[in-house]
Each structure stands twice: as structure tokens, then as C-alpha cells.
Amino acid sequence: MAEKTLLPETIQQALGLGAYGALGELVAAFIAAFLVGNIFLAYTGIAGPWAKRKITAAFTDRIAVNRIGPFGLLIIVADAVRLLAKELIIPENADRPAYDLAPIIMAGSAMLGFAVIPIGSIAGVNLQLADPDAGLAYVFAVASIATLGITMGGYASANKYSLLGGLRAIAQNIAYEIPLVITAASVVLFTGTLQMSGIVEAQTATFISLGPIQINSWFAFVNPFAFVLFMVANLAEVGRNPFDIPEAPTEIVAGYQTEYSSVYFVLMYLGEFLHIFLGGAIAATLFLGGPTAPIPQLAVIPGFIWFTAKIWGVFLLTQWFRSAIPRVRIDQMIEIGWKGMLVLSFANLLLTAILVGVIA
């Protein structure tokens, strides 16, 4: 395992801020949050304008962006300039406070979630802002705030299609967040803790020994059924195909995003992809060993690299589904959530409890 020293404490020591007491702790926390936040903002900046197009084009046998810069990478800059240069148009009858706050809430809720995620280590320092005892409960709580932002944006836009998108978001969130949390609870039964570092550490035990090679007990290996359930529910939580119901462009224009432009649209788009990476980070922490290697012999590779590979793997999976699976209808989405995912998640929790009780 990486050093338990958290990033704010490390920065405080490195900059000699300990002598400044509470002020030094506050400055160190701000610097640490800036570093971690920009890591995921960079991932989002790469994923949204460039990687999404490249991956989708590869799956659908098309040519993606390849003219602006090497491999089309400068499309990231071009899109940023294009979107931010657009006029910010506010609907005449919009509810301004809710309309203005919605994009901030969507992006901000995802950024808050990364505070407790153990994203690996560099030079022996664990890149984790905080490690509270109830870290898993915290990350689900703040991530769910995004639904409030979507609902506010849909209502405040004074557009019936936007309102429908917001209402669909509420229905989808309720239908799939319960199975998501229940499936995560099955992992807690194995670990006995809600602390994110404790969940990661529990997955460093040996699962299978193949001669000199020892495979770590990632919960994706221990309970693959729970892993599949979690990934499906996560797709619905982040609004990706086949569950992109709140913004269904072929039915309700762009749903809750219809009346947003310029920097507000950028914030909403940013929030969407930040939540995709947050969902991948939670999945990697709960089921893929977080920043740990699959076998101890590969632990020479920094944990940060392992963690990055895992969350990008989850992103690749979401893009695969986006390209391969058509959108379900709203009634089908509700039926899958309440009649399928909820029943299966409770069954998984019960079987896990029995298994843990027998082993214990």
C-alpha cells in the first residue's frame, strides 16, 4: 500500500506551513484541492471534445477529428474557444437564480466527490484529499446533488422539453440510485468499513495463487455479479446510453440542456463528463482495487498510473455502450430499474450477507 500521508498534510510539510496553524492547514488544503481538481478537469477536457469522438468513430467505423493539430488534439482548444465565444442567451421567462445555479451545482457536485477518492501515489505520497470514516456515504451523497442541478435547469428554463428532461432525471435517479447504493453496500459487507482507503486495502489480499503469481482479491473477481450490477446502474446515474433519457435529443431536443449556451452549456457538459469519471473512480475503488496493481509484482508501477488506467477503462466501456446499444424508452427505463435492478441488487446483498456469514 502507498503511504497513508494525505496530500494536504504533505503540502503543509513541504511548504513549511505548519508554523501558521489553522491558516497553514487551510492554504495547504486549497493547494491540494487545486492539484487534484485540475487532474480530473484535464481528463474531462481530453475526454469530452477529443477522446469521445475518437472512440465512437473507432466503434462505428468512421473518421473522427484528425485535421486540427496532431491526431486532432487541438480540437480541445478549438471547442473551448468556440463554446466560450458564443453568446449567453437567457430565456425571457427563466427563473434566473435556479437557471444560473444549475450548471454550477452539476459541475461542483462531481468535484466534491473526488475529495475522498484514493487516486494513487506519486513518490510515496497518497494523492487523497481526505479519508473520513464515512467516505463511501459521502461520495454518494454529494454525487446525487447533480440531479438537483438537472431538475433546477429543466424547471428554470421555461421550456416544456427542458422540464420533461428534468422530470426524467428525477425518475431515473430514484430508480437507479437505490440499486447502486445497495450494490455498493454488498462491498461494505466484505470490508466492514465505509472508509475508502479501507475498502482499497481489503482488496490487496490474495484471491488466487498461480505459482509465483498471486492475484489480488479485487471485488470484481470475488463478486462479478455485483460488479456488473454496479456498472449498469452507474450508466444510468451518469446518463449514458442506453439510459441518456434526460437529454434524449431525438425526443426532447436536448432535454434539460436545451436553453443553455456559452459558458453555462460548457459547465453542464463539464459536469456530465466529471460525473462519468467520478462514477469510474467509485467503481475502480469498490471493485478494481483502486490504485493497487492486480498482482504484487506489478506494484512497481505507481498507483496513480493504475488508477488512471482503470477510470479510462470505465470511460471506454461507457463509450462502447453509447455506440452499440440504442436508447431505451422512458417506460422501459423505469421497468428495468424497479423490476430488474432493484430486485437483483437486493438478491445480491442477501447472498453476500449469507456468504460473509458462512465464511466468518
CA distance 251 to 272: 19
Whether 4 shows a pLDDT value over 80: the answer reads no
- Residues 239-278 have pLDDT tens digits of 777 888 877 777 887 778 888 888 888 888 888 889 889 9
Q: Residue 2: its pLDDT value, please?
A: 42
Whether 47 shows a pLDDT value over 60: the answer reads yes
List C-alpha distances in Å: 223 to 111, 183, 187.
Answer: 29, 10, 9
Q: Residue 136: its pLDDT value, please?
A: 92
Average pLDDT, the chain: 85
Whether 308 shows a pLDDT value over 60: the answer reads yes
Whether 121 shows a pLDDT value over 80: the answer reads no
- 260: exposed, middle or buried (C-beta count within 10 Å: 0-12, 13-18, 19+)? buried
- Residues 157-213 have pLDDT tens digits of 888 888 888 888 888 888 888 999 999 999 999 888 999 989 999 888 887 877 778
| Residue burial 312-345, b: 16+ Cβ < 10 Å; e: rest | bebbebbbebbeeeebbebeebbebbbeebbebb
Mean pLDDT of 114-137: 83
Beta bridge partners of 125: 122
- 101: exposed, middle or buried (C-beta count within 10 Å: 0-12, 13-18, 19+)? middle
Q: Could you tell me the pTM of the whole model? A: 0.90
- Residues 57-108 have pLDDT tens digits of 888 888 888 888 888 888 888 888 888 888 888 888 888 888 889 899 888 8
Share of the chain above pLDDT 70, in %: 96
- Residues 141-152 have pLDDT tens digits of 998 888 888 888
Mean pLDDT of 231-238: 87
Q: How many CB atoms lie within 10 A of CB 14?
A: 11
Angle at 115 between CA 229 and CA 6, to 5 degrees: 120
Q: Residue 19: its pLDDT value, please?
A: 67
